[in-house]
């Protein structure tokens, strides 16, 4: 056999052993026999020294060519096994999402807070109100200043505010006349009142539901994120009795005729006079129980006549127009209505809890 024939036969042997390999570890085991000094091609290389100078160049070329072909076949095979392993791994780790379809008759439903919010909107729309929305990240102007709460006003401590760090972009203007202002997560839905009064001519009858934020630690009755609904009425000749009547109508429309509302004097910077409003305890209907601490009443929210400064800040003539505003927490309302003891249960997303409502 000539040396060239030996090279060809060594190459063919190497190629067929690569073809016969069953997996990656088999291939790795084969590597010394393919590329090692003692491999057939390797030992042929060792013979090079004994050849005539005239033959050395062409034999060397034939050897290199054979070795290149073996290396390529080895690479191909390695790639194939790696891809195969990856496919196996992916199918083993994959999650079969179709399993949630096992019971095709089971349908999800809206979260209790969303249901409550939608029912509240329906009741107010039925009373002639529109629904307005605004941004959750607000400027200091809309959340505080325009609401008659200038910087350093003591009543700002009523709201544990989460301020936004805008880094370089502190110069953005959304204050009075586009002036630069601080930004925060709105602490109440009252900034939506300001946006509505700025952009719409009175008469205004609107409610603003939405998510609000305060720097509170989560406990049985507090969450740093919760929901409020706020009402705003601006018209000619609106008086405090309209406020009291509207709240009473709303209370019976939402809770049923047995539930009444009452007002107690209070203070808010954006309303004057201001009041806190209570409703008949929905659990005991007024006879006294644990929820209402035996008073027969539960506190729902705040309200009052819109302060003339607030009207002025929105370009509304406070001699011609007057109005009232009220606001209350939606999560708390849902909590009371369903006798839920811990607010946190509404947000831990345990389906066994949520599917009850």
Interacting residues with ligand PHE (CB under 6 A): 188, 190, 230, 268, 271, 301-304, 325-327
Residue (116 or 228) nearer to ligand PHE, CB: 228
Residue (34 or 194) nearer to ligand PHE, CB: 194
Least distance from C-beta 264 to ligand PHE, angstroms? Answer: 13
Residue (202 or 269) nearer to ligand PHE, CB: 269
Least distance from C-beta 208 to ligand PHE, angstroms? Answer: 10
Residue (21 or 306) nearer to ligand PHE, CB: 306
Least distance from C-beta 268 to ligand PHE, angstroms? Answer: 4
Least distance from C-beta 314 to ligand PHE, angstroms? Answer: 15
Least distance from C-beta 267 to ligand PHE, angstroms? Answer: 10
Least distance from C-beta 167 to ligand PHE, angstroms? Answer: 29
Least distance from C-beta 147 to ligand PHE, angstroms? Answer: 8
CB-neighbour burial class of residue 193 (10 A; exposed 0-12, middle 13-18, buried 19+): buried
Residue (205 or 353) nearer to ligand PHE, CB: 205
Residue 65, strand partner residues: none
Residue (233 or 336) nearer to ligand PHE, CB: 233
3-state secondary structure the chain: CCHHHHHHHHHHHHHHHHHCCCCHHHHHHHHHHHHCCCCHHHHHHHHHHHCCHHHHHHHHHHHHHHHHHHHHHHHHHHHHHHHHHHHHHHHHHCCCHHHHHCCCCCCCCCCHHHHHHHHHHHHHHHCCCEECCCCCEEEHHHHCHHHCCCCCCHHHHHCCCCECCCHHHHHCECCHHHCECCEEECCCCHHHHHHHHHHCCCCEEEEEEEEEECCCCCECCECCEEEEEEEEEEECCCCHHHHHHHHHHHHHHHHCCCCCEEEEEEEECCEEEEEEEEEECCCCCCCCCCCCCCCCEEEEEEEEEECHHHHHHCCCCCCCCEEEEEEEEHHHHHHHHCCCCCHHHHCCCCHHHHCCC
CA distance 161 to 14: 74
Least distance from C-beta 326 to ligand PHE, angstroms? Answer: 5
Residue (7 or 232) nearer to ligand PHE, CB: 232
Q: Are 232 and 306 in contact (CB under 8 A)?
A: yes
Least distance from C-beta 254 to ligand PHE, angstroms? Answer: 17
Residue (254 or 277) nearer to ligand PHE, CB: 277
Residue (204 or 325) nearer to ligand PHE, CB: 325
Phi-psi region of 68 (alpha: psi -120 to 50; beta: other; left: phi over 0): alpha
């Amino acid at each position: 056999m000539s040396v060239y024939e030996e090279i060809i036969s060594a190459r063919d042997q190497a190629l067929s052993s690569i073809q016969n390999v069953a997996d990656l570890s088999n291939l790795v085991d084969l590597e010394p026999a393919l590329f090692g000094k003692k491999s057939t091609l390797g030992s042929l290389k060792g013979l090079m020294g004994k050849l005539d100078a005239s033959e050395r160049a062409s034999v060397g070329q034939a050897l290199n060519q054979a070795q290149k072909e073996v290396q390529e076949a080895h690479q191909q095979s390695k790639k194939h096994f790696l891809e195969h392993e990856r496919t196996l791994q992916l199918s083993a780790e994959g999650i079969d999402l179709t399993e949630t379809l096992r019971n095709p008759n089971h349908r999800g439903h809206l979260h209790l807070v969303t249901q409550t919010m939608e029912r509240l909107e329906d009741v107010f729309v039925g009373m002639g109100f529109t629904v307005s929305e605004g941004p959750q990240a607000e400027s200091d102007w809309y959340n505080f200043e325009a609401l008659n709460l200038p910087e350093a006003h003591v009543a700002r401590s009523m709201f544990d505010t989460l301020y936004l760090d805008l880094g370089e972009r502190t110069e953005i203007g959304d204050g009075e006349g586009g002036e630069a202002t601080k930004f925060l997560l709105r602490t109440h839905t009252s900034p939506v009142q300001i946006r509505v009064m700025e952009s719409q001519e009175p008469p205004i009858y609107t409610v603003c539901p939405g998510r609000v934020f305060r720097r509170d630690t989560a406990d049985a009755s507090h969450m740093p994120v919760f929901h409020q609904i706020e009402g705003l009425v601006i018209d000619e000749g609106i008086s405090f009795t309209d406020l009291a009547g509207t709240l009473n109508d709303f209370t019976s429309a939402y809770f049923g005729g047995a539930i009444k509302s009452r007002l107690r004097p209070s203070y808010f910077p954006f309303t004057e006079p201001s009041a806190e409003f209570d409703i008949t305890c929905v659990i005991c209907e007024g006879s006294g129980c644990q929820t209402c601490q035996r008073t027969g009443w539960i506190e729902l929210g705040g309200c009052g006549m819109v302060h003339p400064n607030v009207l002025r800040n929105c370009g509304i003539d406070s001699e011609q127009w007057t109005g009232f505003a009220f606001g209350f927490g939606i999560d708390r309302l849902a909590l009371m209505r369903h006798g839920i003891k811990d607010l946190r249960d509404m947000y831990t997303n345990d389906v066994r809890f949520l599917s009850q409502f």
